[in-house]
């Protein structure tokens, strides 16, 4: 793997290149972490991952533009503050309440969280992961969680 390219699905078999990451500018662990995220936030827009593909030495993520990203009151910018994962409650009625922030030493540590269906949230216990995102605007990974057995809202 030498690079990761994001494409936007414009419909009618029209896929436009959107953004690209190359090794060694970013590590292979970061490229894998990005491929595990359900959503991608960049320049105020929210995109949903609809396909994860490979072509020779290139990893390809196909995204669908789902509109403006809605900010919540307690969002912080993590640029220049290391690698972090926000754990947020997956309930719009609770304004996607921030439960905790987990500082990470590497993208491999982030991958550990992104691979899980159930995670241990400090002070809250085990929670079910509903989705994940990489928020480029704020420089943070986000996991949305609900109580185990709770219906999705």
Query: Are 62 and 19 in a shared domain?
Result: yes
3-state secondary structure (DSSP) of residue 102: strand
Query: Are 99 and 134 in a shared domain?
Result: yes
**Exposure class string for 16-53: b at 16+ Cβ within 10 A, else e:** eebbeeeeeeeeeebbbbbbbbbbbbbeebbbbbeeee
In 3-state terms, the chain is what percent helix, strand and coil (to 5)? Answer: 10, 50, 35
Greater confidence (46 vs 92) lies with 46
For residue 94, give the CATH number of its domain.
3.10.20.810
In this predicted structure, the answer to whether residue 6 has a pLDDT above a threshold of 80 is yes
Query: Are 41 and 90 in a shared domain?
Result: no
Query: Are 113 and 57 in a shared domain?
Result: no
Query: Are 27 and 63 in a shared domain?
Result: yes
Whether 30 is covered by a domain: the verdict is yes
Q: How far apart are CA 106 and CA 132, in angstroms?
A: 17
Whether 75 is covered by a domain: the verdict is no
Residue 103, domain extent: 83-146
Each residue of 105-145: pLDDT tens digit? 999 999 999 999 999 999 999 999 999 999 999 999 999 99
Provide the whole-model pTM: 0.92
- High-pLDDT (> 70) share of the chain, %: 99
pLDDT on residue 144? 96
Q: Which of 94, 21, 15, 100 is nearest to 51 (CA)?
A: 15
Whether 151 is covered by a domain: the verdict is no
Whether 77 is covered by a domain: the verdict is no
Please report which confidence band the pLDDT of residue 45 belongs to, taking 50, 70 and 90 as the band edges. Answer: very high
């Amino acid at each position: 793997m030498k690079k990761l390219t994001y494409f936007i699905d414009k419909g009618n078999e029209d896929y436009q290149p959107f953004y690209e990451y190359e090794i060694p500018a970013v590590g292979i662990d970061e490229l894998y972490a990005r491929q595990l995220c359900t959503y991608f936030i960049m320049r105020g827009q929210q995109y949903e991952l609809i396909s994860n593909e490979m072509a020779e030495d290139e990893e390809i993520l196909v995204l669908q533009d789902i509109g403006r990203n809605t900010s919540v009151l307690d969002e912080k910018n993590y640029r220049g503050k290391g690698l972090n994962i926000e754990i947020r409650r997956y309930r719009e009625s609770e304004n996607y309440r921030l439960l905790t922030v987990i500082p990470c030493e590497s993208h491999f540590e982030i991958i550990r969280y992104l691979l899980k269906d159930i995670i241990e949230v400090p002070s809250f216990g085990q929670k079910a992961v509903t989705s994940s995102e990489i928020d480029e605007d704020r420089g943070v990974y986000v996991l949305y969680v609900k109580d185990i057995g709770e219906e999705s809202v």
